[in-house]
Amino acid sequence: MAKITKLDDIVSLCKRRGFIFQSSEIYGGLASCYDYGPLGVELKNNVKKAWWKTVVQMRDDVVGLDCSILMHPMVWKASGHADKFADLIVECKKCNTRTRVDHLKDHCEEHTAHIAIDSALASAPELSNKVCPNCGSVGNFTEPMPFQLMFETQMGANVDDAMTMYLRPETAQGIFANFRNVLDTTRVKIPFGIAQIGKSFRNEVTTKAFIFRTREFEQAELEFFCEPGTDEEWFEHWKKCRFEWYIGLGLKKENLRFRQHDADELAHYAKSCADVEYKFPFGSGDWQELEGIANRTDYDLRQHQRGIRTMTKWYENNRDMTKIELTDEPQDYQSGPLSYFDIEKKKRYVPYVIEPSAGIDRSALAFLVDAYDEEEVRGEKRNLLRFHHALAPIKVGVFPLVKRDGMPEIARNIYEDMKKHFNCFYDEKGAIGRRYRRQDEAGTPFCITVDGQTLEDKTVTVRKRDSMEQVRVTTDSLKSFLYDKLEV
Residues within the interface to ligand ATP (CB under 6 A) = 111, 113-114, 170, 202, 204, 213-214, 217, 219, 289-292, 357-359, 361-362
Report the residue number, 278 or 399, with the smaller CB distance to ligand ATP. 278
φ, ψ of residue 21 to 5 degrees: the values are -120, 155
Decide whether 49 or 419 has the Cβ nearer to ligand ATP: 49
What's the min distance (Å) between Cβ of 486 and ligand ATP?
Answer: 27
246/426 with CB nearer ligand ATP? 246
For residue 276, the minimal CB distance to ligand ATP (Å) is: 8
Nearer to ligand ATP, 170 or 441 (CB): 170
Cα gap 452→400, rounded to integer Å: 10
What is 244-258 written as a DSSP string?
HHHHHTT--GGGEEE
Shortest reach from residue 149's CB to ligand ATP, in Å: 9
Nearer to ligand ATP, 92 or 290 (CB): 290
CB-CB contact of 7 with 20 (8 Å): no
Cα distance between residue 128 and residue 140, in whole Å:
7
Beta-bridge partners for 385? 372
Q: Indicate the residue among 295 and 459 with the shorter CB distance to ligand ATP.
A: 295
**Strand partners of residue 141:** 92
Of 219 and 454, which has the nearer Cβ to ligand ATP?
219
Least distance to ligand ATP, CB of residue 316, Å: 33
Question: Could you give the CA distance from residue 485 to residue 471 in angstroms, rounded to a whole number?
Answer: 13
Q: Specify the pairing of strand 396-400 against strand 446-450.
A: parallel
297: left (phi > 0), else alpha (psi -120 to 50), else beta? left
Pick the closest to residue 303 from 194, 176, 468 (CA basis).
Answer: 176
* Nearest distance in Å: CB 215, ligand ATP: 7
Cβ at position 210, least distance to ligand ATP in Å: 10
Contact present, 86 and 102 (Cβ < 8 Å): no
Backbone phi and psi for residue 234, each to the nearest 5 degrees, phi listed first:
-70, -35
Among all residues, whose Cβ is closest to ligand ATP?
359
Nearest approach, Cβ of 1 to ligand ATP (angstroms)? 22
